[in-house]
Chains A and B, each alone.
Chain A
């Protein structure tokens, strides 16, 4: 296949997107059935051409077609097939193409799984998503064409950045993009609702499962990125507050607020304006993230090739999308229905606090990320805001959230009594304090406030959620519905996560040592014996490998073989760490440099990281919780009933229903 086919496919997809954004939209406006009926075929065509373009680029990578500039820049003859396939999204141009393909895929999904939606409404959603797609297709075609050629092509390409030659990196960007792009669905639903002139509980209910799935993908993507950074970057950290990480974290925080706000709006009709704003903000922040990563406006560790022209384009695009959405909001929001009132002590208040804390957190992360710009703009002395700012702020904002989470599900809609909410939680509260102090005292030699509060907070979340399960199961013959199970998993997951973070930050052990073959290092009861330094070879690298055997007491535990790799192209040196994951601790060995040629002595860094797996375990529970919630039958069943009887009001809250 020739690369120009890909280019043509992209242009055709653009034409279809333009048609989709206009014709069915006019149809929905004039209530013209024939025009609206075009939407499904346009969505399918758009998807097919986006897929074609993507496949053409993939084939160029498989066949080593170095006449395609992008292939020559990101692949070479020695690169294994799996990495050639993932190299398709390893650079700026290809990752945009992946983004476009995913957006087209989400549109297909909306088309297939929303048959029961009112036709006008569904058409509007698809049209709005078509508009978003126009922006990305134009961006690709005008500033970042992945199918550009160099003729004659070079005999061999450059290497894919060795950091990206890793299984974790194969899945991290697609998951993340699925989340980012998934928020376009929530955005489409919100805009379609505004265009229709009314924000109703209906569209909030319809958009809930989509938002949950997008949020779950984003959670999984961020988790995988953090895990990858941990084992691949070779310094044992799991989160760096880098602008690019923040760019994915801000939409996550807004998305978290959004899924909770949607619950209130759907059940009680309260905060409708908030829900719309958050839906707009979640997607806008995804766009802003793209801008920050690709424009060069901020310097980051994993920035793409920076180009102010691209930056300007995304900025203009974002201005149109977000600016337009917010203007529409200003026009239509006064007509948004007013929700029912509620008392200060009620589930509405609990969820309002949730929204407040998450929105403020997102704002603080955004401010910290943009601080170099803000201070420059205001003419203040320039100070770079580093991890200390983020950590301090986060502990401040997350502590109340951790304390309040178990109370939320216990509360009733509209009006409740503090005594009633708190009563079933007293036992959990006491148990978490006692056990928290005991466990952290048992685990850690030195008294650490962070570890103790972490354990108490984490156990409080887990026990508090368990008490909720008990309360919810009382008087119920069948099990809990899925949206409640999902919520329970997610809330308990935060508990697991908090414990992991507290343990890693309070009691990580790290030693830098000089080791010769035959020598042994002893840390915390573990003995690391270096047997030899060997030379090993991979398909596109050679390496020195340190062969360690680890003992505990006299018992031989395992072999650990960290490497220092040199990649053939470019001669880049990479540290491949050796990891032994465990439920309560990880062993982590990274090679430094050769200190002495004669004795083959190396500087070696050894970490013992307690409970580090809990960080990702908790985060995965969160993501799974999102998926389980979204799979609840009530979203999919009620929708069908809704289609036949659109005016039916939702059942008034009984206090047992739970925001997922």
Chain B
């Protein structure tokens, strides 16, 4: 009888894990990306304001840049928005918005309401380039150096601590690029 309860026990453990997982789905942030220290996967994506202009990942080579994944549907992106704005003002490197699985109309309205702090935006409606980038969930922030190598990735909203950490890393990348 006890032995026969083993499958039930295993299943119960699975359910408990899933319940906890459901509760913490938003909190799972820091996942080491397999892309770290590898070239940023090439993308060619339309712009947000000007869909006819295609931007490619290669055009940023030569300076460090930040890639920030966001969508108007993502509440956590609103949470981090003040810090993204601050990044845009103070980082001194291009801050590229990666508009993910969004409707263009919604995205534009969102930017109008909350302010557009990014240097430019690319749109990935189908989420294909996002797969190459290993996007885990919005928001996500990638730091890419002047040679196009991904150096750091943060999953989840940026808060004060994360912001300080990101700024420190960006400064290091900038001095590396100048050297």
Contact = CB atoms under 8 A, between A and B. Distances in A.
Contacts of B33: 384
Interface string B105-119: 100000000000000
Interface string B122-154: 000111101100111100000000000000000
| Among B5, B22, B56, B104: residue with most chain A CB under 10 A | B22
Interface of A: 158, 161-163, 233-235, 240, 273, 277, 280, 284, 291, 295-297, 299, 301, 308, 311-312, 315, 318-319, 322-323, 326-327, 329-331, 333-334, 370, 372-374, 376-377, 381-384, 386, 388, 566, 570-574, 592-594, 603
B19 A315 contact: yes
Contacts of B19: 315
Given A573-B46, A592-B44, 16 more contacts: A162-B126, A291-B18, A312-B22, A315-B15, A318-B15, A330-B7, A334-B1, A374-B17, A376-B20, A381-B32, A383-B32, A384-B31, A570-B105, A571-B46, A593-B44, A603-B44
A301 B127 contact: yes
Contact of A240 (B7, B126, B131): B131
A303 to B, nearest CB: 9
B126 A384 contact: no
B8 A383 contact: no
B44 to A, nearest CB: 4
Contacts of A280: 7
Given A382-B28, A383-B32, A571-B104, A326 B21 contact: no
B103 A570 contact: yes
Nearest to B34: A386
B18 A297 contact: yes
Interface of B: 1, 4-5, 7-8, 11-12, 15, 17-22, 24-25, 28, 30-34, 44, 46, 51, 54, 56, 103-105, 125-128, 130-131, 134-137
B120 to A, nearest CB: 16
A315 B25 contact: no
11 contacts: A158-B103, A322-B11, A326-B8, A329-B7, A333-B4, A373-B20, A382-B31, A382-B32, A570-B103, A573-B51, A592-B44
A571 B51 contact: yes
Nearest to A324: B8
B115 to A, nearest CB: 23
Contacts of A331: 4
B17 A370 contact: yes
Contacts of B125: 570, 572-573
Contacts of A301: 127, 130-131
B25 A329 contact: no
B21 A377 contact: yes
| Among B25, B31, B127, B135: residue with most chain A CB under 10 A | B25
A163 B1 CA distance: 51
A326 B1 contact: no
Nearest to B130: A301
Contacts of B128: 233-235
A386 B32 CA distance: 12
B31 A308 contact: no
Contacts of B5: 330
Contact of A326 (B11, B17, B22, B136): B11
A357 to B, nearest CB: 19
Contacts of B105: 570
Contact of A319 (B15, B31, B136): B15
Nearest to A594: B54
Contacts of A284: 11
A574 B134 CA distance: 20
A13 to B, nearest CB: 28
A593 B1 contact: no
Give 3 nearest A-B pairs by CB, closest first: A373-B21, A326-B8, A330-B4
B22 A323 contact: no
A384 B32 contact: yes
A574 B124 CA distance: 11
A329 B125 CA distance: 47
Nearest to A326: B8
A297 B25 contact: yes
B46 A327 contact: no
A296 B104 CA distance: 23
A301 B136 CA distance: 9
B20 A377 contact: yes
A299 B21 CA distance: 12
Contact of B31 (A291, A383, A388): A383
Contacts of B18: 291, 297, 315, 373
A370 B32 CA distance: 16
Contacts of B20: 373, 376-377
A566 B17 CA distance: 43
A377 B25 CA distance: 11
A383 B134 CA distance: 12
Contacts of A296: 25
Contacts of A330: 1, 4-5, 7-8
Contact of B25 (A277, A308, A334, A573): A308
Contacts of A334: 1, 4
A389 B26 CA distance: 25
B167 to A, nearest CB: 23
Nearest to A309: B22
A315 B32 contact: no
A349 to B, nearest CB: 22
Contacts of A370: 17, 21
A330 B30 CA distance: 40
B71 to A, nearest CB: 12
A376 B54 contact: no
A163 B101 CA distance: 12
A373 B4 CA distance: 27
Contacts of B104: 570-571
B10 to A, nearest CB: 9
Contacts of A322: 11
A315 B17 CA distance: 11
B22 A311 contact: yes
| Among A291, A311, A323, A326: residue with most chain B CB under 10 A | A326
A319 B5 CA distance: 15
Nearest to A322: B11
Contacts of B15: 315, 318-319, 323
A117 B7 CA distance: 30
A301 B19 CA distance: 22
Nearest to B138: A299
B34 A299 contact: no
A159 to B, nearest CB: 10
Contact of B134 (A372, A386, A572): A386
Given A323-B12, A330-B8, A334-B4, A376 B44 contact: no
A549 B120 CA distance: 38
